[in-house]
Amino acid sequence: MSWNKQEAVLYLRMHALGKSHSECAKYTRRAIEAGGIRIERTHDAKDYGPLLLRAGFRELPPGSTLHSGDVAVIQPYPGGNPSGHMTMYDGTEWISDFHQQSMYPGPGYRKMLPPFKIYRMN
């Protein structure tokens, strides 16, 4: 099945909650699947990078221009959620299980700026 990023983004927009429910990986993975790509599952958001690569996504070089459907996998920071975070860009904003203020989902992430990688399906 081919990648339909519009369907993936639409899924996230329609299912996003008013605030985080600590289900970023589940919502983002379901959006990817709504776009037509099957992806293996793992418990922690921080571990989705290799699974995205195996599903056909590619890692973008730092500083790349973002496109709708791009997925960020963010590593945890000391004192934060040890699972890390996963989110998708809809062309205007980052969405996971909620509409985010930025790619980093909360103040701890925005303060600590943990490492991340962005993936794109061609």
pTM passes above 0.85: yes
* Residue 68 contacts residue 61 (beta carbons within 8 Å): no
Number of domains in the chain: 1
Distance, first Cα to last Cα, the chain: 13
Q: Is 105 helix (H, G, I), strand (E, B) or coil?
A: coil
Give the tens place of pLDDT for each residue, 38-72.
Answer: 999 999 999 999 999 999 999 999 999 999 999 99
The CATH number covering residue 77 comes to: 3.90.1720.10
H/E stretch holding 94: strand 94-95
- Give residue 95's domain range: 5-121
Q: In this predicted model, what pLDDT tens digit does every residue of 70-118 receive, in sequence order?
A: 999 999 999 999 999 999 999 999 999 999 999 999 999 999 999 999 9
CA distances from 115 to 34, 58, 98 (A): 27, 17, 21
